[in-house]
Amino acid sequence: MDRRKKRMLKKVIAVSLIVVFSIGVILSAWAIGIVAGSKVKLLEYERWQADHLEELRPRLLWNFAQRDFSGYCDFDLYQAYLDGVKYNDVQFLATHNSYKGKPGPLMYASELLNYTKYGYYFDPLYEQLEKGIFSLELDIYPTETGFLCMHKTYGDIATTGYNMALALEEIAIWSSCNVGHLPITIMIEPKGWVLRNKDSMNMTDPGVMERFDKLLVDTFGDKLYTPADMLGDTYSNLSEAAAADAWPSLLSMRDKIMVFSITDRVYQYIDLDPSMKTQIMFPAIKMVLDKDHEGYEIHRAVTWIDETFEMDKQELLRAEKKGNGKYDVSEVFQQALEENLLIRTRIDMYEYFSEAAVPLVIAAGGNILATDYPPHNNDRTDYVIPLEKTVFLKSN
């Protein structure tokens, strides 16, 4: 190689190294900015939530008469009470990641390729309950001193429920202020820390699950409907109880709160006491179990199936555009119905919604129907779910 080519090669290598180094510096600065900005914003969310609860607590001093909740229902609520309609015969519109606050620049900066997935947000929990959203989803990050509630630990962090204890207290305040309310169902999703703090913990660390159960009891007390309530002295496991239709009546569930947890962490939760007589949350067990978890299906009274149909939401939208959308209820969903389970499913996901599918998802028979487009969000999105009511009867 002559000298000229060698000089050119050295220049190319030098320029390449400078470019790579510059990109590295930019990415490092971007990452540091996201993390630092997230910490600042989380302090803001924490302060906002504390102020919000200070505004709500005086309501507990008011005198409340029993409210009429029939206006949320697409059926005659009082006739349903008389007929002994059961809790699992009713369907509740839910929100997905119910704590989500309005996303800011941090979310868009951190989710450069996926930002369209996270643009949804909701009213604070109290206001959602006021508008008939009786099923809520809360994500949980344990720490040494408590529990946090947000979608991610950086970037997509906007939350109205940062301190989980205060988020649960907000629900409890609404419950106390609304005598005779329809049952509230709370889905808890344990999350793993991506960026850990010095006091970060995992849900499966010793004592953490028990600590969260205690928080639920301290917050809701005898309002809780627990696995022990369903099992009674009659059934040896939750699957047996569900098959025997041991679900409580809707009437007996007035003013009650049921909590269930998802993800594979439920298996360790069950192992705390395989009788399920001492746990507070119901474990939501998948319909298809891997070999490591075979046998846990006996604890399945609740399940979560994101896709109601054989086609997933993206496939369905593509098919609808071609005029050949198929709304065949999936085999696992049908199996869950046959097992008389309480089913949590999703009507839509942000940026993927089918108006034609809405009544068909409801007709499929799931109980907790999660949406990113609740009816009251019409000031935030071009589309909202076309429903006037938020509580439905399966037989309708």
Average pLDDT value for residue range 112-138: 86
Q: Which residue has the tokens 């098919």?
A: 319
d(Cα 101, Cα 157) in Å, to the nearest integer?
8
Q: Say how many domains are in the chain.
A: 1
Question: 42: left (phi > 0), else alpha (psi -120 to 50), else beta?
Answer: alpha
Please tell me the predicted confidence (pLDDT) of residue 186: 99
DSSP per-residue letters across 361-393: HHHHT-SEEEESS-GGGTTT-S-----S-SEEE
Please tell me the predicted confidence (pLDDT) of residue 197: 76
Res 51 pLDDT > 60: yes
Single pTM value for the model: 0.90
Q: pLDDT digits over 15-31, tens only?
A: 666 656 555 554 455 45
Res 122 pLDDT > 90: yes
d(Cα 359, Cα 15) in Å, to the nearest integer?
59
Q: pLDDT digits over 262-290, tens only?
A: 999 999 999 999 999 999 999 999 999 99
The domain that contains 8 carries what CATH number?
3.20.20.190
Greater model confidence, 80 or 105: 80
**Band of the pLDDT at 3, cuts 50, 70, 90?**
low
- Which domain covers residue 161, as residue numbers? 3-393
Please tell me the predicted confidence (pLDDT) of residue 362: 97
d(Cα 225, Cα 232) in Å, to the nearest integer?
12
Start-to-end CA distance of the chain, whole Å, equals: 83
Please tell me the predicted confidence (pLDDT) of residue 30: 46
Please tell me the predicted confidence (pLDDT) of residue 27: 47
